[in-house]
Amino acid sequence: MDGTAPKAWSGSWVAAVAGGAFAFPIAVLLHELGHFLAFSTFGFPGTVLRSTSVSWTGSGEFRRLFLAGDLEAAAAIAEPWQVAVGVAAGPMASYVLVIACVLAIRRFGPGPFSVVLGIGLVTPMRWLALIPFVSLRLRGYQVTWGPDEVIVTTLAGLPQAFVILSGVLYLIACWFIVVAVPRGRRVRAIVPTFVGAAVVGGPLWVLWLGPILLP
Q: Mind listing the pLDDT tens digit for each residue in 52-77?
A: 999 999 999 999 999 999 999 999 99
Residues forming a β-bridge with 54: 49
| pLDDT at residue number 64 | 97
CA–CA gap between residue 134 and residue 185 (Å, rounded): 34
State yes or no: pLDDT of 6 exceeds 80: no
| pLDDT at residue number 128 | 84
Per-residue burial over 192-201, b = 16 or more CB atoms within 10 Å of its CB, e = otherwise: bbbbbbbebb
- For 166, other C-beta atoms within 10 Å of its C-beta total 21
CA-only gyration radius of the chain, Å: 19
Q: Is 22 helix (H, G, I), strand (E, B) or coil?
A: helix
CA–CA gap between residue 131 and residue 15 (Å, rounded): 31
DSSP 35-86: HHHHHHHTT-TT-EE-SS-EE-TTHHHHHHHHHTT-HHHHHHHS-HHHHHHH
- Up-side HSE of residue 17: CA atoms within 13 Å toward CB? 7
* Chain segment 76-128, per-residue pLDDT in tens: 999 999 999 999 999 999 999 999 999 999 988 877 778 999 999 999 888 88
The backbone torsions φ and ψ at residue 197, rounded to the nearest 5 degrees and listed phi first, read -75, -50
Q: Which pTM does this prediction carry?
A: 0.90
- For 95, other C-beta atoms within 10 Å of its C-beta total 16
The backbone torsions φ and ψ at residue 44, rounded to the nearest 5 degrees and listed phi first, read -65, 135
The identity of residue 107, as a single letter, is R
CA–CA gap between residue 5 and residue 13 (Å, rounded): 16
